[in-house]
Structure formats: structure tokens, C-alpha cells
Structure 1
């Protein structure tokens, strides 16, 4: 198994996807009205696809997962670039902090971060902060499914691709338990050839996760929740012809 996608719900996937692709320097994979996919490759590190699919639900002002962009000494440049592409400043009560909070063109919050040593090898996406009821427990869950490994961070727990490069998956202590509203941003795990789906689902349950039934009809993937209730998708292994 491996972490393949960062999936973002969108009212207009093509327009929002082009915003993120221009800001992050991605490469277009799919450019359709209902699905936009761009590839975010980190030198000597992971290849992650940012996938945007059309959904009608409104934006959550306080998402449990969001993007932290690398800024550092170029923070002002990245902020100005985002604003020029259609982002806007956003006040979520952050107060006086060294990072800059913005909203993308559909209102999804994201941050442009100050310099931190742990971001030096992250690439354009510094971190993926995910709310957690128990960061140590959830780090174990995500490490097993993604193959990423524990690393040091300012957050209670964090993982990174075993190459030592790419964004951090940061487990941040939640302010409140997960509600019924679906996370607008979630992660996708891809099975590899030879993985036993039933064994993987049994291991998900052992680690505190569970299978969800969102009543979306028949799907080629399985919708799961991590131990803190955050949604993720388990994608089937690719056939040899498409891998």
C-alpha cells in the first residue's frame, strides 16, 4: 500500500484545479469538467496526485485536513502569487502568527508557512495537518497504511515518505471530535499487486479504523475512517497494464 492522492472536493474542479496546479507547479493528468488531476512530484521523494472531483457540498470553514504551503524566505512571494491567482486573505481567529492564512477561490483555507527546518525537504507542500483525537495512535494507523515513517515536527506526531523528502503528514490534536460532515479534503491509499484487500480491511479494524457506507452507490474503492473519524479511500491495485 502507499499514499497516492490528496483528494479535494470542488464545486468547479477544473477552475479550482488549475489554481492549485499553477500555485504548486503540478503537471496536468486529467482536465475534465467533473474531475481535474495534477501530479505533484518531489525531487528524490514521493509522487502525489492532487485530485479534484465535483461535489455540491459547501466549504467547511474549519477543515480537519488542509494544505500548508512552503514559504520560508519566499513566504511573501508565495502569498502574492496565490493572491494573483485568485486566493484571498482569511481570518479564522489565528491572531498574530508567523504563517499566513489564505482561502483558495472556493474558500478552502490553507496556510503559507514560515521557515522551519523540517520543511527544508518538503517541496511546495510543506505539510498536511490532520486533526486527531490521539496523534500517537493515529500516526501508527497512517504509517502502516501509507508506508511513511515517523519524523520530528512541531506537531505531536508526524510522518514522512521513507525517502526523507516530501510533505509531512502532521497529526494535530483536535479541538473537537469529528462530526458527521465529510472532510472536504482527504487522502487516498492505493493497494499494490499482491495485497489482500480482506486482510487490509481486517488490519484497518485492528488499528482502530472502520469501513464507512456513505450510500454513494457502487464504488470501485472502499471508503474508510481512521480512528479519529477522518475519511480516506482505499483504492484497488492497478492492473499491470495501467500501473
Structure 2
């Protein structure tokens, strides 16, 4: 039994506008599974779920983002210095704004989407040459080693690196983006972004949820009501959802 990360969930006041931004930013397409939900996924015959891409679901909520920096953000890949410059300019034309999160003098550019969700446009890196437009899903944490233990067992992704400062996982198939945990500080508020995990066909969702509890995950009541997914948090309180098979 195992779970796989299949999408990043983004909370938004205007799911359509934020969804359009991310579709344009990534060169992906738009769809909707229902009111208040905008789905963003690759074009060209992509069939969800596929490890070549972690998709984006933008979900409407009534409250705006606070001034607090998100604990989860996306890093976007570029192929050259010229591509990085062009992408930053294009994203700003789409409504992104430069933000200072204390990054200092770094080779990547920190921006925020139209509702203030921070993300980075990376300089070209060899490791990201085959990730697709999303290079990394980055999660701030207190203890990367503890996060590596939990997420390595919770998912079927492969642990590539781990030390006191960061941990890196990627699909065992060697495709798609990386998942990185960076040492920062304690989590204090619910996040606007979280990962959604999906069981494989034939696996029992309830059994997977029970297994996650034994690994240290806890159930979360976010006011979700009677839904097909289960809201949980990892041992440091990072929210995630285990989706039901459709």
C-alpha cells in the first residue's frame, strides 16, 4: 500500500482568477469539477493522475490570505538565463508581484500570485531539466529528518537527499517535480496551500488513512463536512488530504 502526491490545493477568494493565472504561468489547461473549484493540469493528452505532473486545484474560500508567508510554495523551472528573465516579465504581466521574504541576494526571483501566494522562479538548474514547469513543491519545516521519515513512509516517492537543513523526495518513476522540506521555523497558522494524496486503484482509502495515523498523522476538522476525502496533518501540522478514488 502507498499513496502518491497528485495535486497542490490552493485556497483562493477567486478560484477562477487564480486558476487562470496558474494555467497561463505553467502553459497548462483549465477545467472545473464544480462551482468554486478550478483545476489546472497539463495539456496534450495528459490523463490524471500521472507522476509527470503534480496538478493544481484552486478552491474558493471566504477569507483572504494573511500577511504571513505561506509554509508551502512552488518553485518554477527555467532552461536558461534568458528564459528566466522572460518568464519573470511574463508572470508580472499576468498579475504577479515581486516580494521580499528575506531572501537576500539570490539567483532566483521571488514573486507572489494575484492573491499573494509566494513562489520562486529559479535560475536554470541541471537537476530541473526534466521536471516540467513546476520544479519543486517546497515545504517549510522544523525538522527535515523527521519530515523525511514520515513522507518517505507515507508515500511511494523516493527519498533522494536528507540532512539537518533539507530533505528531497521525488516520484520513484524519476519524473515530475521534487518535494523538498526546508528547515525554517515552527508552523503557526493554517496554510493556503497543501498537498493532496491519492491511493492506487485497488487500495483501500480507509486502510491508508489508518496507516498514516500509525506514522504520526492526525485527523483535522477544517469544517469540510461530509466529503469523500480525509483531511489530516503530518507530525509537524502540515495539512494534507487523502482523496477518495473517483
Structure 2 counterparts to residues 192-231 of structure 1, below 5 A: 192-231=200-239
Contact 2:209/2:242, CA 8 A, preserved across alignment: no
- Secondary structure, in 3 states, of the residue corresponding to 2:93? helix
Higher mean Cα deviation, 94-103 or 148-157? 148-157
Contact 1:12/1:33, CA 8 A, preserved across alignment: no
Contact 2:145/2:162, CA 8 A, preserved across alignment: no
Q: Of 190, 197, 212, which residue of structure 2 is paired with 1:182?
A: 190
Contact 1:46/1:165, CA 8 A, preserved across alignment: yes
Equivalent-residue separation in structure 2 for 1:131 and 1:90 (angstroms): 17
* Displacement after TM superposition at 1:206 (Å): 2.2
Change (3 A) 1:46 1:140: farther
Measured on the aligned residues, the alpha-carbon RMSD in Å equals 2.3
Matched length: 236
- Residues 159-196 of structure 1: CA distance to partner in whole angstroms, max 9, x if unpaired? 11122121110011132x122x3210001011233323
Structure 1: 5+ residue runs without aligned partners? 239-243
* Displacement after TM superposition at 1:15 (Å): 0.9
Consecutive aligned runs of 4 or more in structure 1 exceeding 6 Å deviation = 41-44
Query: Normalized against structure 2, the TM-score is what?
Result: 0.87
* Displacement after TM superposition at 1:215 (Å): 3.0
Change (3 A) 1:166 1:193: closer
Q: Of 158, 175, 178, which residue of structure 2 is paired with 1:168?
A: 178
Query: Normalized against structure 1, the TM-score is what?
Result: 0.88
Change (3 A) 1:41 1:186: farther
Aligned match of 2:137 = 128
- Residues 3-43 of structure 1: CA distance to partner in whole angstroms, max 9, x if unpaired? 22111001111111011001101122328661110113799
Are residue 139 (structure 1) and residue 148 (structure 2) matched?
Answer: yes
